[in-house]
Amino acid sequence: MTKKPHNAFYAQSGGVTAVINASAAGVIETARKNKHKIGNVYAGRNGIIGALTEDLVDTSKESASSIAALKHTPAGAFGSCRYKLKSLEENRAEYERLIAVFKAHNIRYFFYNGGGDSADTCLKVSKISKALDFPIQAIHIPKTVDNDLPVTDCCPGFGSVAKYVAISTREASFDVASMAKTSTKVFILEVMGRHAGWIAAAGGLASTSDSPLPIVILFPEVVFNRKKFIKKVQDKVKLHGYCSIVVSEGVRGSNGKFLSDQGLTDAFGHAQLGGVAPVIANIIKEDLGLKYHWCVADYLQRAARHIASKVDVDQAYALGESAVKLAIQGHSAVMPTIKRLSDSPYRWKVSSTPLSRVANVEKKMPKKFISSDGFGITPNCKRYLEPLIKGEAYPPYKDGLPKYVVLKNKLVAKKVGIDFKL
């Protein structure tokens, strides 16, 4: 009689993206193809929390077509969470609980799909093999719109945000260009990226040699200089009649504070939390007196599966697939990565790296990617970004709306039984 193969745990962590479910599909479909090696894939309900509370989604109850539909469904189909495991020394009980749940459900594979913090959690879990003598293979699957993980050439989720921001910047620029004669002359688009300007940089892609557009980018890497900024906008408006500004939420002033943190109060003196776009709009009004419009893209940018990058979807899937293959090959404490082979034509393959090289390391935009005036991207940066937004991977539609799947998310019967307090 052959031994029943061990099961796998998969969880989504941190801010979700347009393509994290494509990685989930990569994991589940690849595991299904290797049933002699991997039994069931149990997904954590709301990320790692599901492992702690023993809320495990039985993905075997989902049809093949539902799992395939994850490839075109944004956000986290099993729920995500913002929850960081403490170190083994600080909270041994959490790890013992994980082991109890994993043992009860015959789980020996741990797939964790997230960003930098999650890589750290995944590395910690990998260490319980030795420290607590429970054999588990922990593989991290990269995901972050911030594109700030090291080693990998790019991070799934980023390419689709970049595409959304580039397209939105182009579309809004066309709009403003046609209004500028008698109305709006400055458009401001606020995008994500609290620490790194990768997403803001994508706004620069909107302008091409076929279709040059006046775009000013404000990076978190560049201290905001009001005088220089106003001069730049003024020059663009003089030359083109209008100007589009793409501003990262993370832009700071010379005092080190976020520009969005303006100590706003309403008529009753209540503090108001605003974005940075209205702050920039006010600066335009005060210093130039030009008519403006502003936009805060917020979640729309990372959830916009309707215009996801095909390259991004393909890579997200490939990394999920590769994680399972790495597990089957006996690896642990590793992360599959994207390795770029050439820019044009764009060629890439999946490689892998030890998690110790990834956890708690943040990849900043290289200096050579920001133009010397601090308000644009360099040809080097364009060369890097361009392939990542290539291809359209449209979801299917029904009655004018994308058909996104909602899984059954049927939970496995609890075996440990005892409740765990988070």
In the range 363-402, which residues lie near its own copies by CB under 8 A?
386, 389-392, 394, 397-402
Question: How far is the C-alpha of 338 from the C-alpha of 341, rounded, in Å?
Answer: 9
When the beta carbons of 168 and 322 are compared against its own copies, the nearer one is: 168
* Residues of this chain, 327-366, that bind its own copies according to CB under 8 A: none
Q: Which residues pair with 347 in a beta bridge?
A: 342
CA within 13 Å, CB half, 102:
26
Minimum CB separation of residue 317 from its own copies in Å reads 18
CA gap 329, 263 in Å, rounded: 54
Minimum gap (Å) between residue 161 Cβ and its own copies:
12
Length of the chain: 422
Figure out which of the listed residues 87, 272, 356, 360 binds its own copies, where binding follows CB under 8 A: 272
For its own copies, the closer of residues 16 and 22 by Cβ is: 16
Residue 167 found at the interface with its own copies (CB under 8 A):
yes
CA angle, residues 155, 159, 164, in degrees to nearest 5? 145
Q: Which of 229, 223, 257 is nearest to 243 (CA)?
A: 229
Backbone φ and ψ for 172, nearest 5 degrees, come out as: -65, -35
By the 8 A CB rule, do 230 and 216 touch?
Answer: no
For residue 117, which of 159, 85, 158 has the smallest C-alpha distance?
A: 85
Of positions 118, 121, 168, 332, contacts its own copies by CB under 8 A: 168
Nearer to its own copies, 97 or 331 (CB): 97
5 or 203: whose CB is closer to its own copies?
A: 203
Q: Which stretch binds its own copies (CB under 8 A): 145-153, 224-232, 247-255, 263-271?
A: 263-271
Pattern of binders to its own copies over 34-63, x per CB under 8 A? Answer: ------------xx-x--------------
CB count within 10 Å of CB 54 equals 23
Q: Supply the minimum distance, in Å, between the C-beta of residue 395 and its own copies.
A: 10
12 contributes a contact to its own copies by CB under 8 A: yes
List CB contacts of 139: < 8 A, sequence separation 6 or more: 109, 110, 111, 112, 122, 323, 326, 327, 331, 332, 334, 335, 336
| CB 116 to its own copies: min, Å | 17
Q: Judged by CB under 8 A, does residue 264 bind its own copies?
A: yes
SS3 387: helix
- Helix (H) / strand (E) element for 68: namely helix 64-69
Instruction: Considering the complex, state which of residue 1 and residue 267 has its C-beta at the smaller distance from its own copies.
Output: 267
Residue 330 neighbours by CB distance under 10 Å: 7
Q: Which of 104, 132, 295, 328 binds its own copies (CB under 8 A)?
A: 295
Q: Which of 138, 161, 189, 245 binds its own copies (CB under 8 A)?
A: 189
Measure Cα distances from 133 to 86, 148, 165, 250 in Å.
19, 33, 47, 43
55, 58, 146, 312: the active-site residue: 146
Q: Is 101 or 176 the residue whose CB approaches its own copies more closely?
A: 176
Residue 147 lies near its own copies (rule: CB under 8 A): no
Taking CB under 8 A as the criterion, which residues in 274-293 touch its own copies? Answer: 274-275, 277-279, 281-282, 285-286, 293
SS3 content of the chain, % helix, strand, coil (to 5): 40, 20, 45
**Other Cβ atoms within 10 Å of 177 Cβ, number:** 18
The secondary structure of residue 249, as a DSSP letter, is: T
Closer residue to its own copies, CB minimum distance, 16 or 123: 16
* Residue with smaller CB distance to its own copies, 214 or 374: 214
Task: Count the residues of the shown chain that bind its own copies, applying the rule CB under 8 A.
Answer: 90
Site for its own copies in 60-89 (CB under 8 A): 73-83
Q: Binding its own copies by CB under 8 A: which of 63, 93, 255, 298? A: 298
The correct pick among 206, 247, 355, 381 for binding its own copies (CB under 8 A) is 206
Q: What is the DSSP letter of 370?
A: B
Distances (CA, A) of 84 to 119, 227, 261, 275: 10, 41, 27, 27
Query: Which residue in 23, 40, 248, 309 binds its own copies (CB under 8 A)?
Result: 309
287 catalytically annotated: no
Q: Which residues are catalytic?
A: 146
